[in-house]
Structure 1
């Protein structure tokens, strides 16, 4: 659910699992792009999130991930917006297969390539989108405060 709910994996929302001796688990590293494998609708298959944390965490069987080796080609925080963009969602949609339960065809997806802006442009795009996101969060917080204030004042009028 962490990958479904967040563009950047929430480090405060992990589930713990027991790893038995000899059991192989995939470790998630900073900058890894994670995708959901299955959903009830094709629109929700391949929902992505980026891990920007430092804790050692493991990838569960409901997701798969890509590790970006060449940091000169890709800026991991940029992917937090890219994987939820309309062009990327349209790109990934054909990889959803199924009729009652849809699954991402990981093998076909891994064979494809994507075009990215230059590293400089990725950083610039991320900075702009991040500022917009912060502004939206600030406005939501203000709205909540104003709503609370309005309720208080209305309550005072009718005492």
Structure 2
């Protein structure tokens, strides 16, 4: 991140809560169209020329935390992968991307899925911390065993 100097008469696209952001270009087709959803609440952020954003206006039908999981899913990556064009540098064609359609579950179902995935992510983090602590304990016990 860096500060943006907006000159008089210049227009910059700001990022708002729930906006979908995608990379436009990469050296490999696997990294083109990598997506994220902005779920923050902070100062204004602006898009740079290496990505593009989609602002969703139908906020009553989209649960944005679900959308964040969706754009990072394997199924969504398979959806975007065919749109990568190039040989030495791969680019995502925005027009082709914008023609694509996908179906979302109901708002309540999106919310349930996102909450379940949040709970699983939290559980994984706890298990990783426990594993790290068990490894520290194991190292301590092995050190004291051979003194």
**TM-score, normalized by length of structure 1?**
0.85
- 2:38 maps to 51
Give a deviation string over 1:81-132, Cα, whole Å, max 9, x none.
1012122111111110011111111111012221111111111111111111
Runs of 4+ in 1 over 6 A off after TM superposition: none
The answer to whether 1:25 aligns with 2:12 is: yes
Runs of 5+ consecutive residues of structure 1 not aligned to the other structure? 1-14
Runs of 5+ consecutive residues of structure 2 not aligned to the other structure? none
- In the comparison of the two structures, how many residue pairs are matched? 145
The 2-side partners of 1:97 and 1:155 are apart by 56
The higher radius of gyration belongs to 2
Q: What CA RMSD, in Å, does the superposition of the two structures yield over aligned residues?
A: 1.4
